[in-house]
Amino acid sequence: NAGVTQTPKFQVLKTGQSMTLQCAQDMNHNSMYWYRQDPGMGLRLIYYSASEGTTDKGEVPNGYNVSRLNKREFSLRLESAAPSQTSVYFCASSEKGSGNQPQHFGDGTRLSIL
C-alpha cells in the first residue's frame, strides 16, 4: 500500500519554465491538498480539492493551478516558475474534506527555481 505518491522527488527549473507536480493516492480518499513548506514558515496550503470535481484556493494560490484529474490524482502546475516558488511541496489526502480527519502526506518534491 503506497499511500500518497509524489513525482518528481527533486526538480531544478529556470525562471519562466513551467512544470507539473504529480500526486496520486491509493487510499480511496475524497479530499486532496497541496502545501508548500519554507524554512520558518511552516506548511502553507496552496490549493485543495474537497472531492472529485472541485478545487478551491488555499492561503497562497498565486502562481499555481491545480487539476483534480480523478479521485486518485491531484496535480499542481507552475505556469511560469519564479525563484520565490523555490520550496518543498507536499501533497496530502484525507478521507473527507471536513477538516475533522487527519491528512496523510506524500514524501515531498524539492523544487529549486534558478
Partner 1 sequence: RKEVEQDPGPFNVPEGATVAFNCTYSNSASQSFFWYRQDCRKEPKLLMSVYSSGNEDGRFTAQLNRASQYISLLIRDSKLSDSATYLCVVNIRDRGSTLGRLYFGRGTQLTVWP
Q: How far is the CB of 38 from partner 1 (least distance, A)?
A: 10
C-alpha cell read off for 5: 505518491
In sequence order, what DSSP letters do the residues of 40-109 get, joined into one string? TTEEEEEEEESSTT--EE-S--TTEEEEE-SSSBEEEEESS--GGG-EEEEEEEES-TTS-S--EE---E
Rounded to whole angstroms, what are the CA distances from 26 to 2, 75, 86, 106?
7, 15, 28, 11
Nearer to partner 1, 17 or 52 (CB): 52
Q: How far is the CB of 60 from partner 1 (least distance, A)?
A: 13
Nearer to partner 1, 19 or 88 (CB): 88
Q: How far is the CB of 112 from partner 1 (least distance, A)?
A: 14
Residues making contact with partner 1 (CB under 8 A): 35, 40-43, 45, 48, 50, 58, 90, 97-108
Q: How far is the CB of 97 from partner 1 (least distance, A)?
A: 5
Nearer to partner 1, 2 or 14 (CB): 2
